[in-house]
Amino acid sequence: MDARNTIDRTTRGGALTFLRVARTSFQATGALAPSSRYLAARLAAPLRGGQVRHPAMVLEVGSGTGVVTREIAGLLGPADRLDAVEVNPDFVEVLAHALATDPVLARAADRIRLIPESITAVDLDRRYDVIVSCLPFTNFPPEQVRAILDRYLAALVPGGHLTYFGYLGTQAARSVFDSRTELARHRAVRAVLDEFQQRYGVGSSVVWRNLPPARVPHLQAPAR
């Protein structure tokens, strides 16, 4: 079997697992489809164009079935390292299999550490040049979002980069379907995200070729 067929089988298997988990645990996934490769490329953008030093330490949180992990893996240099954090056991199983069978991931497997835990429980024993977060922040309580973002900023080296994403159009949908309590929680989360963007943001962009389209904020830790 050639590399292209192996990639296609891995991608299809991961997508099916994602859809199954999303159907039963939308709160944890926050999406009904995996991220597109265009969104993955935008999230991994700090690893391009000489924005980070090498060797680089990278942290990905909420790796899912590995779409963004694969993009990051393709950008790792020989001495770079990636910690991929994923708490869902079904996704961990898909990722572990992909690290052995997907050509891009397998080539970088010796530089990737798969951590099957929640980011709130992980002992971050190193500092990172880039953090890519794929967590569905708008599904979380605002105080948890603040705690996670604080943890990210504390784990970055001075001048380190953080990217994450949020879907466009969710506010309008929530105004129709959500309760007042949920709307208030969502507004509070948005306020936390806006605060961090104002304090640390260095730009944001929209990825239209994703389902649904997504905005990717880019934050940077203070250079101390």
DSSP assignments along 98-153, one per residue: HHHHSHHHHHTGGGEEEE-S-TTT----S-EEEEEE---GGGS-HHHHHHHHHHHH
Q: Is 88 helix (H, G, I), strand (E, B) or coil?
A: coil
The single-letter DSSP state of residue 209 is: S
Query: Do 190 and 208 contact (CB within 8 A), yes or no?
Result: no
Query: Do 133 and 197 contact (CB within 8 A), yes or no?
Result: no
Residue 5 has pLDDT above 70, yes or no: no
Model confidence, pTM:
0.85
Residue 94 CA to residue 142 CA, distance in Å, equals 30
Residue 96: predicted pLDDT: 96
Domain residue extents for the chain: 3-220
What is the average pLDDT value for the chain, to the nearest integer? 88
Strands annotated E in the chain: 57-61, 81-85, 112-115, 128-133, 156-163, 166-167, 201-207, 214-220
Residue 25 has pLDDT above 80, yes or no: no
Phi, psi (5° rounding) for residue 137? -55, -35
Bridge partners (DSSP) listed for residue 113:
83
Residue 37: predicted pLDDT: 95
The mean per-residue pLDDT over the stretch 210-214 comes to: 94
Residue 81 CA to residue 113 CA, distance in Å, equals 8
Domain 3-220: top CATH class: alpha beta
- Per residue in 159-193, pLDDT (tens digit) is 999 999 999 976 655 556 678 899 999 999 999 99
pLDDT-based confidence at residue 50 (cuts at 50, 70, 90):
confident
126-143: b (≥16 Cβ within 10 Å) or e: eebbbbbbbbbbbbbebe
